[in-house]
């Protein structure tokens, strides 16, 4: 039997955290290839990118594989460097140890392996239908404990940093710098989140003379605004910049790599993770696209009222279009086998159909790089299309049969 009274903790990291800087640059590279394809009339279905980024003190290294326009419309090294510098500037890094103008940027991208391409491209390889870009397992999750149908500890950890970043960019909190981490421990009673038992925030700031108390006074009003009424009590434990001064930060303070914050990117540990990172990958890579569709399906199941929470797993083999398995878990709240049957009747879960259904062949990925890939608002431009709940009525009908 599931526990009903417990405390669960999740963390988030800001857009200026070194790993998130790497994720942002990698996703900017993906977007650059999609934008260029649109400009020169290349079929976006043929774009391929798997960009990995390392950042450290005034140094950026971008490596990986790609396929884009050739000849006059080819994406140049100079353009990739310019995209990286623009991303660093947008995040807000203008420090002596990491500056968008002065950082040395090396690009080591190469053409996609022909042996990988033959498994993904239509009409090639042993399976002629477009297959998955790799083998692997992917998970999706949703819970009705927040309006966004996300786990509360992660949702509010993200929101704290997102709001502080908005105020930093606007100048309202101009003493803050880009690197930050948050952590919220949430008390659950009868399975529902009711209050925060502790709040942890470490944020980079200007001025060696700023104390932890100074930083708490600066950020506490925003945190109180973000958390639901009544969640902060006299018993809530606060740790704001608990080690003291935090001026040296970002890639100058610690190296960053693409894909090191996959739990932050997904469900904060409240649900399983398949292990594959998202950022830097085009959607032929099922690490990304199948994780997105798994979230889409889980969210629609919860939004339909079929279950309070839902976990979905998909698995794929490289070069093979159809998933190897589909698993649904609602903890006995509903007929999971019937949900699986309903999903298969409503959606073909091949990589190509996922890309088409969620409209993923677009330059939409840089916006996903910070504050989570899930639980964010979809837009008409296709950003976060996997957050839409347009499958609710069809799922209700299928479950009623």
Catalytic residues, by residue number, are 17, 19-20, 52, 65, 181, 246, 254-255, 260-261, 281, 285, 287
299 membership: H or E segment, kind and range? helix 286-303
**CA 277, 132, 353, 118: dihedral to nearest 10 degrees?**
130
Provide the 10 A C-beta neighbour count for residue 296.
26
CA proximity to 376, closest of 201, 143, 34, 147: 147
Expressed in angstroms, the distance from the first to the final Cα of the chain is: 29
CA proximity to 105, closest of 203, 28, 33, 206: 28
Is 236 within 8 Å of 197 (Cβ atoms)?
A: yes
50 membership: H or E segment, kind and range? strand 48-56
* Distance (Å, whole) CA 132 – CA 129: 10
336 membership: H or E segment, kind and range? helix 336-346
* Distance (Å, whole) CA 352 – CA 125: 16
* Distance (Å, whole) CA 45 – CA 238: 49
Helix (H, G, I), strand (E, B) or coil at 357: helix
CA proximity to 371, closest of 149, 50, 85, 154: 154
* Distance (Å, whole) CA 314 – CA 328: 9
Helix (H, G, I), strand (E, B) or coil at 81: helix
Helix (H, G, I), strand (E, B) or coil at 178: strand
* Distance (Å, whole) CA 294 – CA 137: 11
Is 391 within 8 Å of 300 (Cβ atoms)?
A: yes
Helix (H, G, I), strand (E, B) or coil at 71: helix
């Amino acid at each position: 039997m599931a526990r009903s009274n417990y405390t669960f903790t999740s963390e988030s990291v800001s857009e200026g955290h070194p790993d998130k800087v790497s994720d942002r640059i990698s996703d900017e590279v993906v977007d650059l290839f999609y934008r260029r394809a649109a400009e020169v009339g290349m079929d976006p279905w043929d774009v391929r990118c798997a960009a990995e980024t390392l950042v450290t003190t005034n140094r950026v290294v971008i490596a990986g594989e790609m396929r884009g326009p050739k000849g006059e419309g080819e994406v140049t090294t100079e353009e990739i460097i310019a995209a990286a510098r623009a991303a660093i500037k947008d995040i807000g890094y203008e420090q002596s140890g990491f500056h968008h103008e002065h950082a040395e940027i090396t690009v080591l991208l190469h053409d996609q392996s022909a042996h990988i391409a033959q498994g993904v491209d239509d009409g090639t390889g042993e399976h002629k239908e477009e297959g998955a870009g790799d083998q692997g397992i992917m998970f999706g999750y949703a819970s009705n404990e927040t309006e966004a149908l996300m786990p509360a500890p992660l949702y509010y950890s993200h929101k704290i940093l997102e709001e502080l970043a908005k105020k930093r960019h606007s100048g309202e909190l101009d003493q803050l710098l880009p690197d930050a981490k948050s952590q919220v421990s949430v008390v659950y009673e009868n399975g529902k989140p009711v209050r925060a038992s502790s709040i942890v925030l470490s944020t980079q700031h200007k001025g060696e003379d700023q104390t932890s108390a100074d930083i708490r006074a600066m950020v506490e009003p925003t945190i109180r605004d973000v958390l639901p009424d009544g969640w902060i009590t006299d018993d809530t434990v606060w740790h704001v910049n608990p080690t003291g001064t935090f001026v040296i930060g970002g890639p100058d303070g610690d190296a960053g790599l693409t894909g090191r914050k996959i739990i932050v990117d997904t469900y904060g540990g409240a649900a399983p993770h398949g292990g594959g990172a998202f950022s830097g990958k085009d959607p032929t890579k099922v690490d990304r696209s199948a994780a997105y569709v798994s979230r889409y399906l889980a969210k629609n199941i919860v939004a339909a009222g079929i279950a309070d929470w839902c976990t979905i797993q998909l698995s794929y083999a490289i070069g093979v279009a159809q998933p190897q398995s589909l698993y649904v878990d609602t903890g006995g709240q509903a007929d999971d086998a019937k949900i699986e049957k309903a999903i298969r009747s409503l959606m073909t879960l091949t990589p190509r159909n996922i890309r088409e259904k969620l409209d993923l062949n677009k330059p939409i990925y840089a916006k996903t790089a910070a504050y989570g890939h899930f639980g964010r608002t979809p837009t008409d431009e296709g950003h976060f299309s996997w957050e839409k709940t347009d499958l609710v009525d069809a799922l209700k009908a299928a479950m009623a049969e």
